[in-house]
Amino acid sequence: MIELYLSKVTETSETEQAGKLYARVSYKQSMGIQEMAHHMAEHNTMFSEGSITGILIDFVKCVREMVLMGNTVKIDNLAIFKATVEANGLEVLYDAQQDKVASASIGTLAQGAKTGPAVKVIKLLAQSTGDFTRDELKKDVKLSWTDKTKAEIAAAKGSLTPDPSPTGEGSENQGGSGSQSQQNSVAAPVISGVSPFEETSQVSISGPDGATIYYSENGDDPDSNDTLYTQPFTIDETTTIKAVAIKDGVSSQVTTKVFTKGTSGSGGFETGS
């Protein structure tokens, strides 16, 4: 079961998405090799958690080795892993004036240069296959709102329900309660930044007007005791950023974004289908 919540884009955003609600996945936890090994060891296997951990670590190393050798690695019903490049636009193979040839190397093309390094960035491309393609996932996935979002939807619906009472007294109470719940609903913050990244990534967090934003970098849900967000900051390693917006004492849904640093030589990860 994948749980969803609704995130509202800031009204002042200069995009067509401004003020609109978008569904986001509420991730329960981040599963690393150790967590996956523990999960697999509980499936009545004859292998210990330690053995599975070692196998998975070696497997990852071997995939990387094969990819860097120019091979594609297909893991059935998961993904096809291969290296891809972001290329520089070269005008000629050889620039006689500068005595430079096109080189099969990674680098930045100098301003005004007609030739030089052919590759700007090398990346690892993971292309879903088998049971993990979009069409296959759509068949099996089950979606649900988080409990908090269910309550927010119920409150919004309640505030629009007509009052059957002829005196209007019931309407005043019901409408007031729903309106108050709707007013107290704080939109979740939006975490922005490049992921995956090669060296560093700048993280920025935006939230509803008048709200104070707090964030954490250790995977724990943040509150007012955590770091106060005041300006964009830079990270240089794989980090799970969580943020919460607080306004008038009311906290929003926690937003989570995992920033992944690419391994040496890969430059980062992209997903496709």
Dihedral (Cα; 225, 229, 234, 236), 10-degree rounding: 20
Strand ranges, E, within the chain: 2-8, 21-25, 73-75, 79-87, 94-95, 100-101, 103-106, 117-128, 143-145, 190-192, 201-206, 212-216, 227-228, 233-235, 239-247, 250-251, 255-259, 269-272
What is the model's pLDDT at position 13? 60
Superfamily of domain 188-272: SoxY domain (2.60.40.2470)
DSSP-assigned states of every residue in 165-177: -TTSHHHHHHHHH
d(CA 172, CA 156) in angstroms, rounded, equals 15
Helix axes 169-184, 147-159, angle to 10 degrees: 140
pLDDT by residue for the chain (273 residues), tens only, comes to: 899 988 877 766 667 777 888 888 888 888 899 999 999 998 878 899 999 999 999 999 999 999 999 999 999 999 999 999 999 999 999 999 989 999 999 999 988 899 999 999 999 999 999 999 988 989 999 999 988 888 888 888 876 555 444 433 333 333 343 434 444 588 999 999 988 888 889 999 999 888 999 999 988 889 888 899 989 999 988 999 999 999 888 889 999 999 888 744 333 333 333
Helices (H) and strands (E) in the chain, counts: 5, 18
- Note the pLDDT of residue 198: 84
Among 193, 197, 189, 234, residue whose Cα is nearest residue 215: 189
Q: At what angle do helices 49-68 and 33-41 cross, to 10 degrees?
A: 130
The SS3 call for residue 131 is helix
pTM over 0.85, yes/no: no
Enumerate residues 6+ apart whose C-beta is below 8 A from 82.
Answer: 67, 71, 72, 73, 124, 125, 127
Phi, psi (rounded to 5 degrees) for 261: -90, 130
**If you search the block for the tokens 């104070």, which residue do you land on?**
212
Element (H, E) at 42: none
Type of residue at 112: G
Q: Where in the chain is the domain with CATH 2.60.40.2470?
A: 188-272
Q: Are 105 and 117 in contact (CB under 8 A)?
A: yes
| 166-188 core/surface letters (b: 16 or more CB in 10 A; e: else) | eeeeeeeebbeebeebeeebbbb
| Residue-level length of the chain | 273
DSSP secondary structure string for all residues of 97-115 = TTTEE-EEEE-PPPTT-SS
Residue 160: the pLDDT is: 58
